[in-house]
Chain A
Amino acid sequence: MGSKPLNRRELLKNSAAIAGGLTLGAAAPAMGAQQTPESHHAPPSWPMIKGDKDMIAYGDRSKYVTSVRIAHPVGGRPSPDQFGLTFHIATPLQDSVGVITPSSLHYVATTRGAFMPDIDPKEHRLMIHGLVDRPLTFTMEDLKRLPSVTRLHFIECAGNRSSRAAKNVQQTHGMVSCAEWTGVLLSTLLKECGVKASAKWFVAEGAEEVKGASSMPIAKAMDDCILAYGMNGEAVRPQNGFPLRLMVPGFEGIFHTKYLRRIKVVDRYYMNYNDFGHLDQEAKIAALEYQIGPKSVITFPSGEQRLPGKGFYEISGLAWSGGGAIKLVEVSTDGGKKWNKADFKGTPQRMAFTRFGYQWNWDGSETEILSRCTDELGQVQPTRAQIAKYWNKPYDQTFTVPGLDNSAQPWRIANDGSVTNGFA
């Protein structure tokens, strides 16, 4: 700031910032000597949080913030179970703000119940081999020397579908999350190894007990896959694949191989166990099992929330697509008769959450609200009735959306302001 002497206001601003930074909490009284004469600071009515060693080392949220993950689906296998195995855990979307899911709240899925591997990153290796000119093995240190990228990406579990039994948005949509991922592009390493012309697919494999492996098109590897060691500004968490996770932006969650230890470049679909699970009789349905379609959901107001009365509300929600960036989000407040353009909070990123808002005056009468989105490829999020019509199936309670369910989620608002699942 140069040598210009600080005026009184700048001094005050700086000392307040220093005081706030040192005492963990804005409630700390500012230094008395620097208060202006006209300020009257009553003693605070709330207790102070004393700094302890743990809190200084790694901060906690307020005890009043109690949002937590839950086992998914409703009535399914518990996580943890009696042996400490983790199955599926859903993120509390109803409490989310912005587009980043905190690492502690990121959804988790395992291909079968699993303990979290406790991997020493010093011992971890990634090997790339198969149809390459030069097979190579990398340490984590090696990977961190290479040019990195940092990108926002969502991950969504193929089983993230709303049901009649689901009561809130955590239960209907909680198996999707978005984080900032940092790592090396897989294409950077594949170029380092020299991919042979006969390469068509690659197999990615984890180091956990089941050594989960999936076949993916080599075109995806060369396009935008990331070997991620960073997540939301720190190391990837064990539940999300520490120390190294393969990000396959826009593909179903199962492809995002955790604890990544090996990539084999091959000439054919390798038909691993996970691959076999993607087979279908119908080519059209098989095609829907890779790239996720355009999808959005209103997170406020959503199931089990309650509007205190008529008046102004900003409807808020999230939109994402495996096809790229979100181009348009529309909100209906009359059950889908009229659609209104929502605004974006920030610039939509490719294969990442986009937060949207829509300003709404509720007149206090019963209604249904829902959102739909369009992505950069022109793919439009459908209603379930539209999907049924496309597949020439009757739309009733027995109808199941083929592939990953990206249908619009209706929330019903009653006269008393209570919000319930429109599918129930």
Chain B
Amino acid sequence: MGSPRISPFAFVLPVLLMGGASALAQGPAFGIGRTPTPEEIKALDISIGPTGEELPPGKGNAKEGAELYRTKGCAACHGAQGIGGAAPNLKGKDPKNPDLWARGRILPLRAPFATTVWDYINRGMPLNSEGTLTADEVYSLTAFLLFINDVIPEDQALDQQSLPKVKMPIGDSYAPLPDWKPRTKRLPGYPF
């Protein structure tokens, strides 16, 4: 059947002809692989993007999160107040410092979106019991960590709708992401 690789020009023409519906408007070449069911996709679709579209239903607040932080063993590794444990700090050391970048790489403080915090707790915590937290518990723990970093008030409930809308203190003060292109230097103008 020849090479499955198509030339770079082959990308452009179908897009022009078909109104840009698909960058690779062509049928499958090999017919290998199976179509996953919507349920199968949903079960694995755990990367929570900034829009929060993958978030499951559920809700929780910081008060509930504080309780879970103790009972789920978070405090044992991250410290009773989110600081000084063996695991990464969850609270900035110097809350008065207006320069967020000087306050350490604290996930619930420096993350540009609250979805990143929710995602990581859901994905990777607690250590050795990953995947055991309910959606309500993850919303509660996220609310607790955002509360101890003065990002949200203690009584604010987080859910599918409100979590992506939380304004994180870092705002957009991080540098734009590099626009990577094949066969180009890693940084224009940088000789090394």
Residues in A lying within 8 Å of B, measured CB to CB: 112, 127, 129, 133-138, 142, 145-147, 185, 187-197, 199, 203, 205, 209-211, 213, 217, 219-220, 223-224, 261-262, 264, 266, 268-273, 275-277, 279-288, 290-294, 322-324, 377-382, 386-387, 390, 406
Cβ contacts under 8 Å, B190 to chain A: 284, 287-288, 379, 390
Given known contacts A135-B41, A377-B183, what 5 new A-B pairs fall within 8 Å (CB)? A134-B35, A191-B4, A213-B47, A273-B124, A276-B107
A272–B182 CB distance below 8 A? no
Cβ contacts under 8 Å, B124 to chain A: 112, 209-211, 273
Q: List 26 A-B contacts (CB under 8 A).
A: A112-B124, A127-B44, A136-B33, A136-B35, A138-B33, A194-B24, A196-B21, A210-B124, A211-B124, A217-B179, A223-B182, A262-B44, A266-B49, A276-B107, A277-B105, A281-B174, A283-B176, A285-B175, A286-B177, A288-B190, A290-B178, A291-B180, A293-B192, A380-B191, A387-B192, A390-B192
Interchain CA distance A199-B22 in the complex, whole Å? 9
Cβ contacts under 8 Å, B25 to chain A: 194
Among A195, A220, A291, point to the contact of B24 (Cβ < 8 A): A195
A271–B105 CB distance below 8 A? no
A324–B111 CB distance below 8 A? no
Among B47, B111, B178, B186, point to the contact of A276 (Cβ < 8 A): B111
Question: Known contacts being A192-B29, A286-B178, A380-B192, is A147 close to B4, with CB within 8 Å?
Answer: yes
* Smallest beta-carbon distance A214→chain B, Å: 10
Residues in B lying within 8 Å of A, measured CB to CB: 3-6, 15, 20-30, 32-36, 40-41, 44-50, 101, 105, 107, 110-113, 115-116, 119-120, 123-124, 128, 130, 173-187, 190-192
A137–B183 CB distance below 8 A? no
Interchain CA distance A400-B180 in the complex, whole Å? 24
* Smallest beta-carbon distance B186→chain A, Å: 4
Question: Known contacts being A137-B36, A271-B113, A290-B178, is A377 close to B192, with CB within 8 Å?
Answer: no
B26–A136 CB distance below 8 A? no
Interchain CA distance A116-B4 in the complex, whole Å? 35
A283–B4 CB distance below 8 A? no
Cβ contacts under 8 Å, B123 to chain A: 210-211, 213, 273
| Chain B residue at smallest Cβ distance from A191 | B24
* Smallest beta-carbon distance A301→chain B, Å: 25
* Smallest beta-carbon distance A29→chain B, Å: 52
Cβ contacts under 8 Å, A190 to chain B: 24
A286–B175 CB distance below 8 A? yes
Cβ contacts under 8 Å, B105 to chain A: 277
Among A271, A279, A323, point to the contact of B175 (Cβ < 8 A): A279
Interchain CA distance A269-B111 in the complex, whole Å? 13
